[in-house]
Structure 1
Amino acid sequence: MRHQAIAAALALLAFAACGSAEGRQSSGGSDAGGPGFEKDGFTLDWEITGDSMLVSISAPTTGWIAVGFHATAAMKDADILIGYVDASGAHLRDDFGTDYTRHQPDTELGGSSDFSGLEGSETGGVTTLSFVLPLSSGDSRDRPPVPGQPCSVILATGSDGNDSFGGMHQWAETVELTF
């Protein structure tokens, strides 16, 4: 009996350690109008409408911020959207995780840049980017979330002032979310 109680407690702890137990996942009220996730000041909000998804990411940095979907290991195979805000405005690039620690623009890999409606701001040391992703772009490098299905999601930030599409992250987290 005691072994069963220990096994049940361990199973409950393992379940609690998955997905949103490490951060906030809500069922509504986000900036994008739908569910959201937050950890260590990094927020990911989304709203799926028809054949597209409005995405909003925000983090406490004046450098780059990124979100990646469906990585198989670290950054490998992830559909990555990385961007920053500088004096000329918001910048976003559609990348693909070519290896565990590398990513390249989809356009350099035979794909296309598949986002629209980019908006961004940098206020009080917080960078925010909002954009629209098609749920089916036709680009083999794009792997957006499938509504109702679990998805491995990478969240990352660059160091303050790193207004570029690269450089080592200062913070990163991988979570599993259902969109």
Structure 2
Amino acid sequence: MKFNYTFISMLILLLIGSLGFAADANVSELVVSPDWSIAWQFVDNNIEFTLMAPTTGWVSIGFNPTKMMKDAEYVLGYVQDGKLVVRQDYGTGLFSHKPVVDLGRNQEITEISGTQDNSVTTLVFRLPLHWGKDSGIEFTKGQSFKVLLAYGKDGSRNFTAKHSKKKVVTVTL
């Protein structure tokens, strides 16, 4: 009888472990450096992003600029007093962006969470699969995007401080 309980217990643990693996199999990640990464997964009619960067300041991601920062759709965010603060911007010039609400649009971000662990900030948010009125971004599996990643200096908890690091990458969803 002890053999049966041990065997059944091991089988249950194996099944539970494989269920956890299956859930994580849908998450894709691009690591820029050990503390700087972007992860994404499709959830219902949204795409969920997790941005992590080595700063206590702001973190951002921009999609499909036409030149430099121009015409990209951005999500910028930081953690203030344990709460996530995010804003959606649009690239209005080569080196500039404005809040979409100032351009007569609605912000289309669902905030999930924001954390700071030591000197690493992590933002989690969802965007609709059809996002960004001006650029008409369609997030679909297998599609590639030019992505702008950046973060601000430690303590720069605002949307106006210049980035301390930036990186341009191509991401295939």
Question: Whose Rg is larger?
Answer: 2
Which of 91, 100, 103 in structure 2 is aligned with 1:97? 91
- 1:133 maps to 127
- 2:53 maps to 59
Secondary structure of the structure 1 residue equivalent to 2:102: helix
- 1:69 maps to 63
1:163 aligns with 2:157: yes
TM-score by length of 1: 0.77
For residues 67 and 23 of structure 2, what CA distance do their matches in structure 1 show? Answer: 29
Task: Describe the shift of the 1:134–1:61 C-alpha distance in structure 2 as closer, same or farther (beyond 3 A).
Answer: same
- 1:20 maps to none
Query: After TM superposition, which residue ranges in structure 1, 4 or more long, deviate above 4 angstroms?
Result: 28-33
Which of 31, 35, 39 in structure 2 is aligned with 1:38? 31
Q: CA-atom RMSD, angstroms?
A: 2.3
Secondary structure of the structure 2 residue equivalent to 1:139: coil
1:109 aligns with 2:103: yes
TM-score by length of 2: 0.80
Unaligned runs of 5+ in 1: 1-27
- 1:81 maps to 75
Count of residues in Structure 1 that have an aligned counterpart in Structure 2: 152
Unaligned runs of 5+ in 2: 1-20
CA contact (8 A) 2:75 2:87 kept: yes
% of aligned pairs identical? 32
Secondary structure of the structure 1 residue equivalent to 2:93: coil
Structure holding more strand per residue: 2
